[in-house]
Structure 1
Amino acid sequence: MSSCQEAPALYRCEDCFGPSLWCQSCVVSNHARNPLHRIKEWNGKFFDRITLKGLGLHVQLGHEVSDRCIRPELSSNDNFVIVDCHGIHEVALNYCACETGETKTTQLLWAWWLPSTVSDPQSAATFAVLEQYHLLSFESKVSAYGFYHSLVRQSDNTGATPIRDRYQAFMRMVREWQHLRMLKRAGRGHDPEGLAAMQPGQCANLPDDWDRVPAKKNDKADPSLGRGWQFFIEDQQFKAHLAEHVDEPQEKSTCSSHNAVNDVDTKSAKGLSATGVGAIDCARHNMKLPNGFNMDYLVFSALKGTPLKHLFISYDIACQWHKKLWNRMPRLAEDLHFNTTDKVIQFLVPKFHLPAHIDTCHTSFSFNFMKGVGHTNREAIERGCANINPVSSSTKAMGPGSRRDTLDDHFADWNWKKVVSLGLLLSRKMKEAVSEHKAHRVILEQLESTLATETLAVYKAEIEEWENDRNNPNPFESKVKSKLCKSPDDSTADMLA
């Protein structure tokens, strides 16, 4: 029954607690603080959808709900649309035009509504729906298109009532939200030097003309909001570098026939703006490094300025890639040059990928025989790929700037989840390491007890000499060649002899 008892109770709210029915006047007054609730009207046969705007509710910004504005200003064309968790809502929106009133954008933000543009916005999204989509995109990899149109159906699943299309506006607000959340997480919101002090790898900035970008899909029309200040490298300098070396042939692999090496100059890949995405990960913690996506260029970009003195660089085809690496470095921009004089840098191949290499690689590039790496397998980046691959259903249809910003956002969330769970993870691993150390110590002592003391001493000395200088003979290489494992130049008859 209606609380006023003066008019027919024909209206119910889908989002309020309980099945109460109200008259038109009561349902409007009761929703002054909840203007985005879904209302239905009894038409004599069933409850039909009706908007609070249609019932006469006006949302007044710039004042408390109980206060009256003496100079209300109706939003232009009276067609304001709000995207919310409950659906897409048309609202009658009044701004405050008093002398002390804030800008329209500020008034919307005070209501926790993110406007779609800074000049005379016609739509906004609630902070709640932006956060909901943000988390869903991380955990379920739902596309913005699918999410938005599920809200459309939630508003009217019959299709009988046309709903103003705000998909493009929603996409713009999603990018703004991602960008603002990144700034917040990086602690940049209250930096006294502002965004102008940003440095590559720190965060991101908005181009001056971001709100006038046309809906076309190229770098000029769809620039990234973060100019190399997160995980992707700065795009223009990278493309300029590629243009200088586009005609240089790739040396063929001397190991197995690695496609990443031998197919780089094929017609199917020649001239493409991108054939995939490379990444730089911390092998121990599976964290994404800044400026480490887009192999020489991104490695030097990611390691620029690193204080680390001993580096293990792992790559599926490190045996081929590391050749002449330092000779190639001068071709890069000077700010990417890497000081190697005070560092020890060693190259390895991840454990899962190593069996596909030739025998020499199995000892020279193995984590198992490298001092200082523990039981690292360096396949962490593959686990990251499993997390990010489902996003391709969304990014494949995006422009280059939107694609980079979206991937940046997902990589940042990957790191964020790692950071907040690091305490529990390291505690668990430490407990496991203590018990495993005891067990492996017993196994090692049992093995060493089977060897003569003189033989063990010689073997340890050979290992230490090789660890200190890789030019010394590799003690892990077999000194006995099997007749079934001769070089490819041997005849089949010799191999079977």
Structure 2
Amino acid sequence: MKRTRRHSISVIDTTTFSLEDDFYLADLGASDGAEKRQGKTVRPSDPALQEWALAYRNDFLRAMLSHDGRGGEDVDLCPRCNLADHNAVYRCEDCCSSQLVCKECCLETHGRLPLHTIQEWDDRQHYFNKTTLKRLGLRVQLGHHAADWRCPKPVAARSEVVVLHDNGIHMVAFDYCGCERAEPEYLQLLRSRFFPATVRRPQTCATFACLDRLNAFSLKPKTNTFDFYDTLERLTNGAGERPLDRYHMLLRMGREWRHLLLLKRGGRFGYQSNEAENTSLGELAVLCPACPRPGVNLPEKWEDAPSETNYIYSQVFAMDACFQLKRRMVSNEARDPSLGPGFAFMVEAGPYREFLRKSTNKQEMSTCSGLKALDHSNTKFSKGYAATGVGMVVCARHEFVQPTSVGDLQKGERFSNMDYLFASMLRHISQILRKVVSYDIVCQWYKNIFERLTQLPPFLKFVLYRRFTTFVVPKLHILGHIAECRSRFNLDLTSGGGQTDAEGIERAWAAAGGLSGSTKMMGPGARSDMLDAYWSFWNWTKVIGLPAILRQRLDAAKVELQKQLEAFELFSEEQDELVPTWRQMVLELRPTARRRIPMSRNTKARPKPRFDWSSAAREEKQEAEGRASLRVLDVGPVGFLEFAFAIERQQRRLEPKLL
């Protein structure tokens, strides 16, 4: 018998709004002739919007239309220079002032603003045409930043340079510095915040502001580069006339920009002994400031803490895989290598691939019901994909992605992949630090894990002490495990587990899922660099949000502590005789494969009741002869017992799920 699912009921706070608002006055289910109740005046959800629509909409419309014409500018002469032959027909869309000026004054005010959009008034057609500062004669001097910024020996660029800015795509005429000690052309562009697409004879560049926008939009709203470039084209010309195609160059510049941001924020300066090539594995990863790190945020002699409090010096890790972040068979690592292999979060592709090539591809067997990760560990929709997903390790308490702990999956969630990622992460963790490892299939994965770690490559071999390691299942996933798993791998029964649910990695997957639309068609190197940039952004958002979330958890813990203390003391008083025995059992608790946890229930299968089918046949014969026993609600004694046994079997199956 299945339980009836009840709909969730929200308690309505009637102090915040009237129960007679427009929702309740909709008369749902009322007859057509029923009169509406006369109640309080319905208030709009946005009073300012309604006020604008009723009283000010036309004023805004007229003000907008005035910018399509000359507006109040009815003087033909330039108001800045007042020269007789200087007509005021030019204005800038990006400057705050919409004043019309002459050509010379426009060039003078935009000498260092070459990427503003200029409009020219057509007196015969009575509308504005778009023009460019380059068309008006503006040349941008590079390599000189003093007050007298014109070079005495300027070297004109060989052709027009296409510049991508956050307001569109522009054609700019550059003059390079021709002095004796002049820097190369690409460096002169960089000094003026223009990022060249190539080093030799750059013909395309993007402003730092444009690349900043691209990076921000690709990380937070997950906008792909194609849509961003298409937006720049439409900002340049909304009538469908496309400028020169620079999409592939923007792809290259965006990838280089993200990589340089990682290096800069990781303390790489590009000077001697600090070049990008000398970056250590995982050095550019943003680390969790709250997790225990010896020598950083732990007191001296922390390892000598008593057993009652040493749980505070433990780090909780969560492992999982995401099959949404796939990658199709596009390019290869030889043609598209990563710019920073192993610098941050992604593992080095070469050693990782070599280890997987030598690993045995055996089918992992499951002794726990409902583990689909094992059922599809070698067949997770791999056809046509170079990577069927991504495996990862995070700190379970604060959801920070760990250094060199992210790697591609080839055929589902195999142990060989997860072993490599787990060991790669352990390289950055102290060996004597207590570790709690959470994994949704840990009941199968932890078996022989210590032996499997010894079979990893030498640079990954890590001494994992059994007495410092505890394996658990996340609190939501554990509900799908058998009763034995729910007692042996229960985070609630782990010392220091607290309110950690170990499901934070699922929240990381939910946030990163939007990247799949663009990363699945990338080459291996471009995808690796993109994921490194995203997880760096993810960790940084966690850093700036950590004070608020820790304060929120602390406030909630103080309230719950008082409640739980009162309940615990009351319970202990009522069970005073058994408390010492129970306390000793808990203090000596250490879950192992051979030891039963005292808090677990005895879930041994009860003998299935045998049903005597001969009694049912005899009852049917008696009914046919008219000698049947007394029936209640058309159910005989045998049918009643059969129904009761069926209910009992269903209750036994439901019992573990209700624990």
Instruction: State TM-score, norm by structure 1.
Output: 0.90
Q: Secondary structure at the match of 1:125?
A: strand
Partner of residue 212, structure 1: none
Is the deviation greater in 383-392 or in 262-271? Answer: 262-271
In structure 2, give the amino acid aligned to 1:112. R
Deviation of 1:271 after TM superposition, in Å, equals 9.4
| Cα 1:469/1:481, change in 2 over 3 Å | closer
| Cα 1:438/1:484, change in 2 over 3 Å | farther
Q: Secondary structure at the match of 2:347?
A: coil
Partner of residue 59, structure 1: 140
Which of these residues, 278, 293, 306, is aligned with residue 197 of structure 1? 278
Is the deviation greater in 101-110 or in 431-440? Answer: 431-440
Deviation of 1:474 after TM superposition, in Å, equals 1.1
Partner of residue 16, structure 1: 95
- Could you give the per-residue CA deviations for residues 363-388 of structure 1, whole angstroms, max 9, x where no partner exists? 11111111122110001011111111
Deviation of 1:165 after TM superposition, in Å, equals 1.2
Partner of residue 233, structure 1: 347
1:253 aligns with 2:366: yes
Partner of residue 336, structure 2: 222
- Could you give the per-residue CA deviations for residues 209-259 of structure 1, whole angstroms, max 9, x where no partner exists? xxxxxxx722111111111111110000000011101x4312221101422
Tell me the distance in 1 between the aligned counterparts of 2:450 and 2:489.
Answer: 18
Which of these residues, 215, 226, 238, is aligned with residue 157 of structure 1? 238
The answer to whether the 8 Å contact 1:71/1:97 transfers is yes
The answer to whether the 8 Å contact 1:203/1:226 transfers is no
Partner of residue 222, structure 2: 141
In structure 1, give the amino acid aligned to 2:533. D
Which of these residues, 584, 587, 604, is aligned with residue 461 of structure 1? 584
The answer to whether the 8 Å contact 1:465/1:472 transfers is no
1:120 aligns with 2:120: no
Tell me the distance in 1 between the aligned counterparts of 2:353 and 2:269.
Answer: 31
Tell me the distance in 2 between the aligned counterparts of 1:358 and 1:270.
Answer: 32
In structure 2, give the amino acid aligned to 1:219. E
Partner of residue 105, structure 1: 186
| Cα 1:251/1:380, change in 2 over 3 Å | same
The answer to whether the 8 Å contact 1:466/1:473 transfers is no
Which of these residues, 417, 424, 447, is aligned with residue 301 of structure 1? 424
| Cα 1:343/1:234, change in 2 over 3 Å | farther
1:75 aligns with 2:199: no
Superposed CA RMSD in Å reads 2.4
1:277 aligns with 2:390: yes
Which of these residues, 104, 108, 120, is aligned with residue 29 of structure 1? 108
1:329 aligns with 2:448: no
1:374 aligns with 2:498: yes
Q: Secondary structure at the match of 1:83?
A: strand
Tell me the distance in 2 between the aligned counterparts of 1:399 and 1:268.
Answer: 19
| Cα 1:183/1:480, change in 2 over 3 Å | closer
Q: Secondary structure at the match of 2:486?
A: helix
Tell me the distance in 2 between the aligned counterparts of 1:343 and 1:153.
Answer: 62
Tell me the distance in 2 between the aligned counterparts of 1:416 and 1:433.
Answer: 25
Partner of residue 180, structure 1: 260
Residues 260-271 of structure 1 correspond to what in structure 2 (within 5 A)? 260-266=373-379, 268-269=381-382
Partner of residue 212, structure 2: 131
The answer to whether the 8 Å contact 1:58/1:91 transfers is yes
1:397 aligns with 2:518: no
Q: Secondary structure at the match of 2:173?
A: strand
Deviation of 1:66 after TM superposition, in Å, equals 4.0
1:409 aligns with 2:540: no
Partner of residue 596, structure 2: 473
| Cα 1:267/1:311, change in 2 over 3 Å | closer
Tell me the distance in 2 between the aligned counterparts of 1:126 and 1:120.
Answer: 17
The answer to whether the 8 Å contact 1:466/1:472 transfers is no
The answer to whether the 8 Å contact 2:403/2:428 transfers is no
| Cα 1:310/1:362, change in 2 over 3 Å | same
Q: Secondary structure at the match of 1:319?
A: helix
Tell me the distance in 1 between the aligned counterparts of 2:386 and 2:598.
Answer: 45
Q: Secondary structure at the match of 1:473?
A: coil
Which of these residues, 489, 503, 512, is aligned with residue 365 of structure 1? 489
Partner of residue 560, structure 2: 436
Is the deviation greater in 336-345 or in 292-301? Answer: 336-345
- Could you give the per-residue CA deviations for residues 121-178 of structure 1, whole angstroms, max 9, x where no partner exists? 1111111111122222222111111111101111111123x31111111111111111
The answer to whether the 8 Å contact 1:371/1:467 transfers is no
1:312 aligns with 2:425: no
Structure ID, larger Rg: 2
The answer to whether the 8 Å contact 1:311/1:343 transfers is no
Partner of residue 246, structure 2: 166
Is the deviation greater in 167-176 or in 342-351? Answer: 342-351
| Cα 1:123/1:267, change in 2 over 3 Å | closer
Tell me the distance in 2 between the aligned counterparts of 1:61 and 1:85.
Answer: 21
Tell me the distance in 1 between the aligned counterparts of 2:495 and 2:131.
Answer: 71
Tell me the distance in 2 between the aligned counterparts of 1:52 and 1:317.
Answer: 63
Tell me the distance in 1 between the aligned counterparts of 2:271 and 2:149.
Answer: 36
Deviation of 1:190 after TM superposition, in Å, equals 6.7
Q: Secondary structure at the match of 1:444?
A: helix
Is the deviation greater in 81-90 or in 444-453? Answer: 444-453
In structure 1, give the amino acid aligned to 2:494. M
Deviation of 1:447 after TM superposition, in Å, equals 2.0
Tell me the distance in 2 between the aligned counterparts of 1:394 and 1:318.
Answer: 32
Unmatched segments (≥5 aa) in structure 2:
1-76, 286-329, 408-417, 610-644, 653-659
The answer to whether the 8 Å contact 1:116/1:170 transfers is yes
The answer to whether the 8 Å contact 2:282/2:345 transfers is yes
In structure 2, give the amino acid aligned to 1:406. M
Is the deviation greater in 304-313 or in 381-390? Answer: 304-313
- Could you give the per-residue CA deviations for residues 23-52 of structure 1, whole angstroms, max 9, x where no partner exists? 222212221010000011122321111111
Tell me the distance in 1 between the aligned counterparts of 2:331 and 2:533.
Answer: 19
Deviation of 1:480 after TM superposition, in Å, equals 5.8
The answer to whether the 8 Å contact 1:484/1:495 transfers is no
Partner of residue 208, structure 1: none
Tell me the distance in 2 between the aligned counterparts of 1:193 and 1:441.
Answer: 57
Which of these residues, 395, 398, 404, is aligned with residue 291 of structure 1? 404
In structure 2, give the amino acid aligned to 1:181. L
Q: Secondary structure at the match of 1:449?
A: helix
In structure 2, give the amino acid aligned to 1:311. K
Q: Secondary structure at the match of 1:466?
A: coil
| Cα 1:13/1:270, change in 2 over 3 Å | closer
Instruction: State TM-score, norm by structure 2.
Output: 0.69
Tell me the distance in 2 between the aligned counterparts of 1:394 and 1:126.
Answer: 23
Tell me the distance in 2 between the aligned counterparts of 1:269 and 1:139.
Answer: 29
Tell me the distance in 2 between the aligned counterparts of 1:485 and 1:42.
Answer: 93
Q: Work out the percentage of aligned pairs sharing the same amino acid.
A: 36
Deviation of 1:481 after TM superposition, in Å, equals 4.6
Deviation of 1:436 after TM superposition, in Å, equals 1.9
